[in-house]
Chain A
Amino acid sequence: SQELEQSPQSLIVQEGKNLTINCTSSKTLYGLYWYKQKYGEGLIFLMMLQKGGEEKSHEKITAKLDEKKQQSSLHITASQPSHAGIYLCGADGALLANAGGTSYGKLTFGQGTILTVHP
């Protein structure tokens, strides 16, 4: 079963609109990574959240980790066409409670959220 579930699976917004992508874990989250991918290309690191309540921002993208809800959210303010792509949340075994030592070093991902921004 998927340990990280993202919602929505796809999102279409008009340029200038705000949006939020969620990543929910089936296990307690101690931290999380967010990546962006253009179709057919590599993953671009956005940010890493390492403790509950932590919030980080990069340009118009803000991510927050809610440890109690086992959830992270990624918020984009005033979206632009350059924000379009696939957003992936990821966690390695050290960041998932009870994942076991053999899971350390295994960075696994949610299924991704496809973002389309119309100009």
Chain B
Amino acid sequence: DTEVTQTPKHLVMGMTNKKSLKCEQHMGHRAMYWYKQKAKKPPELMFVYSYEKLSINESVPSRFSPECPNSSLLNLHLHALQPEDSALYLCASSQALLFGNSEAFFGQGTRLTVV
């Protein structure tokens, strides 16, 4: 099983809403990642978790709040987003932090639209 599952697939939210994106993997991976991808651009790293601890935060605005409740689950809590935050949000996992010796597996993404 090399699957990373993201829910929901699509999400439309208002600027005053609070919503969460969910990511799950059952491969025993200990590193998990959130990426943001705008149209016609490559994915951009947002957060990295290693052994359920936040390892990297790429200066992401506080309206995005990640959470890793256990080794299989990664959430991204959204609050007071702006229309420019509309994008495809991708989750990924790898056996350990990517030190050049393991690959990352990606989920299918959540298409987020902020209205």
Contact (Cβ within 8 A) B100 A105: no
Q: Chain A contact residues: over half helix, strand or loop, or mixed?
A: loop
Task: For the A-B complex with A43-B90, A94-B98 known, give 10 more contacts whose Cβ atoms are closer than 8 Å.
Answer: A33-B104, A40-B88, A44-B106, A88-B43, A92-B99, A104-B98, A105-B97, A106-B48, A110-B42, A112-B42
- Please list 18 pairs of residues, one from A and one from B, whose beta carbons are closer than 8 Å in the complex, sorted by A's number: A40-B111, A42-B90, A43-B43, A43-B106, A45-B104, A50-B100, A92-B100, A94-B98, A94-B99, A104-B97, A104-B98, A105-B50, A105-B97, A105-B99, A106-B56, A106-B58, A109-B42, A109-B43
Report the separation of the CA atoms of residues A112 and B39 in the bound assembly, to the nearest whole angstrom: 12
Contact (Cβ within 8 A) A40 B45: no
Q: Which residues of B contact A109 (CB under 8 A)?
A: 42-43
State the total of A-B contacts with C-beta under 8 angstroms. Answer: 68
Q: Which residues of A contact B104 (CB under 8 A)?
A: 33, 45, 107
Partner of A95, one of B48, B100, B105: B100
Q: Chain B contact residues: over half helix, strand or loop, or mixed?
A: strand
Q: Which residues of A contact B100 (CB under 8 A)?
A: 30-31, 50, 92, 94-95
Contact (Cβ within 8 A) B42 A45: no
Report the separation of the CA atoms of residues A45 and B42 in the bound assembly, to the nearest whole angstrom: 15
Residue among B50, B92, B100 with max Cβ neighbours from chain A (10 Å) = B100
Name A80-114 residues within 8 Å CB distance of B: 88, 92, 94-95, 104-112
Interface flag for B7 (CB, 8 Å): no
Q: Nearest 10 pairs between A and B by C-beta?
A: A94-B100, A109-B42, A92-B98, A105-B97, A43-B106, A42-B106, A42-B108, A94-B99, A95-B100, A31-B100
